[in-house]
Chains A and B, each alone.
Chain A
Amino acid sequence: MNILRKKSATNLPFSETAIELFIRLCGISSIIFVFGIFFFVFREGAGFLFNGLDLGQFLTSVEWQPTSLNNKRYGAFALIVGTFSVTTLAMCIAVPFGLGAAIFVSEFCSSKLRETFKIVIELLAAIPSVVWGFIGLTLMNQLIIKVFNAPIGLTMLNGSIMLALMSVPIIVSIAEDALKAVPDSYREAAEALGATRWQVVYRVLLPAAKNGLLAAVLLGAARSIGETMAVLMATGHSVNIPSGPLSWIRTLTATIAAELGEVARGDEHYQVLFIIGILLFTITFAVNLIADLVIKGIRQES
């Protein structure tokens, strides 16, 4: 082999250089796509965002009347409240179960049982969102009508239960990773002092893993905020400030999904839907960023 070739990388054969270039390009593709997503969504909505849309009204008004003939209103406040209330309720259901399951899987169960549980959780995560929506529309709808004697079961509660089931797998897997990252010496030290398994979990593991658990909850919430089909089908889809779990709501995501098909390109209404998209992108980006920083935080500490 040529000795010169080993000396400098520029003497590599052409095919090698080409493939390296291609690999590098693929490597940065995620960055390109994230910027691309922001750019193209922004591009469609920018005209109306800077010229015409009353941003104050958009963020605070509850009047969402994009199709009205002489009194068009683009107030997304009810949609924002809808998204956050359904997500909050979903997290109230999902977090206890998710963290409980994570604690059980990582601390209380045999390795065989753990594998089984993990497979089930993986399968639960694989069920498509439109199927969750369909379950909400049929099974959960009837269940809520029967249990709460409600006139209609397509409510915030219904959507929250569906979102909870969808985000539990994320919470479990990230929370379990966080618990596993706590060094075994912590557990051994606590057990040597006579602590029961539960005392170890409660006094040692939870405080030690709190950042990872927080990240798990945040990522679960981000998933719920971005979920579209399930909330579109299960929450009743009507603009409303909810008064309780049994009132119907409408979310940011569902609004885009329901209305984008009916607007003409370049229309104000069309652009407002893209502005909602920018809002959603920003919210989930921020939540993901915070979760990532929280996780990185623990890694640097340990």
Chain B
Amino acid sequence: MNTDMQASPQTMFTETEISKQKRWTENVMRIFFLVMTSLMILPLLLIVGYLLYKALPVLSLEFLFTNPKDNMRAGGLWAPFLGTIYLVVVSLLVSAPIGVFAAVYLNEYARESWFTRITNLAVVNLAGVPSIVHALFGVGAFVLFAGLGESILAASLTLAIMTLPVIIASTTEALKAVPMSFREACWNLGATRWQTIRRIVIPNSISGILTGVILQVSRAAGETAPIMFTGAVFYKNIAEGNLFAYNITEQCMALSLHLFTISTQVPDVTEGVPYGTAVVLVGSVLLVNAAAIVLRVYLRTRKKW
């Protein structure tokens, strides 16, 4: 907004009583709203700081690469960490193509009509469905109806559907940013719609699409409720250091569920372990998000049009 209103008036005018009062209320309001906004930043710093401080005694590389032991009262995070990676990767493989193509449909194919309106409404509502209802859906559809049982596959599919709107929303935004003239130029050369999309639209919006995919990863990694009854398990012993220790038709541990378990269900957990788990979970999620932000900022600086 314009800041010239603050330009000091003394050089030209003598300040009247009214303009003095106006300047004063203006400053008070500005500070008031600044404080309101800062009060939201404070919790973020406070929480991350508090978790880090409490987790310091246990944090080490070994913590990440050893299994929980002693009935989850001590030990590291290998099994839950690997489980979360499995869930995220499998859900990404499902939701990324569907989400990207759904956005392509909404932005490149669909015309303005009542049907498009309903599709958009469905995306909004899909994003608004509570996570625990997604869990019930996962149980009803994948675990029982499709007969997948409680498995990584069932949990990942549930996560994939839940995180679909994230990808659709950011891909739509990325596609919209590609100027119409690019498409028109391509059509005029005789290219079909799909050729235009594949050669022009998607290459020009790929970084925006990637941002959406990254955000999907962060969202899927943090969710607890949808995987609780569809594939994540309280405890499972797997080989340390083996990246292929899980089978996708079996259950796995997950970081988020592990944090819930050791902070509410297991008595006498070693002091720093739940904090360490929380730090690893928040740390990975924030790191992934930071990557998306960096990508977006970088993009903006080198935009070609």
Q: Which of B103-162 contact A (CB under 8 A)?
A: 104-106, 109-110, 118-119, 121-126, 128-137, 139-141, 144-145, 161
Q: Which of B261-287 contact A (CB under 8 A)?
A: 263-264, 274-275, 278, 281-282, 285-286
Residues in chain A near residue B43, CB distance under 8 A: 124, 165
Q: Which of A1-55 contact B (CB under 8 A)?
A: 1, 6, 12, 16, 19-20, 22-24, 26-31, 33-34, 36-37, 40-41, 43-44
Residues in chain B near residue A135, CB distance under 8 A: 47, 50-51
Q: Given A16-B192, A122-B293, A124-B40, is A131 in contact with B259 using a C-beta cutoff of 8 Å? A: yes
Q: Among A16, A26, A130, A292, which residue has its beta carbon within 8 angstroms of that of B259?
A: A130
Residues in chain A near residue B182, CB distance under 8 A: none
Q: Among A36, A100, A253, A273, which residue has its beta carbon within 8 angstroms of that of B37?
A: A100
Closest beta carbon of chain A to B95's beta carbon, Å: 10
Q: Which of A220-262 contact B (CB under 8 A)?
A: 222-223, 225-229, 233, 253, 256-257, 260-261
Q: Among B97, B135, B260, which residue has its beta carbon within 8 angstroms of that of A233?
A: B260
Q: How many residues of B contact A (CB 8 A)?
A: 88
- For the complex, is B165 an interface residue (Cβ under 8 Å from A)? yes
Q: Among A27, A139, A172, which residue has its beta carbon within 8 angstroms of that of B110?
A: A27
Q: Given A127-B222, A129-B224, A130-B259, is A226 in contact with B131 using a C-beta cutoff of 8 Å? A: yes
Tell me which of B28-36, B66-74, B85-93, B238-246 binds A: B28-36
- For the complex, is A217 an interface residue (Cβ under 8 Å from B)? no
Q: Which of A90-113 contact B (CB under 8 A)?
A: 96-97, 100-101, 103-105, 107-110
Residues in chain A near residue B193, CB distance under 8 A: 20
- For the complex, is B102 an interface residue (Cβ under 8 Å from A)? yes
Q: Which of A132-175 contact B (CB under 8 A)?
A: 133-135, 137-139, 165, 168, 172
Among residues of A, the one whose C-beta sits closest to the C-beta of B110 is: A27
Q: Among B50, B123, B137, B260, which residue has its beta carbon within 8 angstroms of that of A130?
A: B260
- For the complex, is A289 an interface residue (Cβ under 8 Å from B)? yes
Say yes or no: B135 contacts A260, CB within 8 Å: yes
Among residues of B, the one whose C-beta sits closest to the C-beta of A17 is: B194
Complexed CA–CA distance, A137 and B269 (Å)? 14
Q: Given A41-B140, A44-B140, A128-B224, is A198 in contact with B26 using a C-beta cutoff of 8 Å? A: yes
> B: which residues have CB within 8 A of A?
1, 3, 5, 22, 25-26, 29-30, 32-34, 36-37, 39-41, 43-44, 47, 50-51, 54, 97-99, 101-102, 104-106, 109-110, 118-119, 121-126, 128-137, 139-141, 144-145, 161, 164-165, 168, 190, 192-194, 218-219, 221-225, 228-229, 256-257, 259-260, 263-264, 274-275, 278, 281-282, 285-286, 289-290, 293
What are 22 inter-chain pairs, A to B, with CB distance below 8 A?
Answer: A30-B126, A31-B118, A37-B129, A40-B136, A41-B136, A101-B40, A108-B30, A117-B41, A119-B293, A128-B221, A130-B256, A134-B274, A197-B1, A198-B25, A229-B225, A257-B135, A260-B135, A260-B136, A261-B228, A277-B136, A281-B133, A284-B128
- 10 further A-B contacts with Cβ under 8 Å, apart from A41-B137, A138-B54, A277-B136, are A29-B102, A30-B119, A34-B122, A40-B141, A109-B34, A124-B44, A126-B218, A134-B260, A137-B263, A261-B228
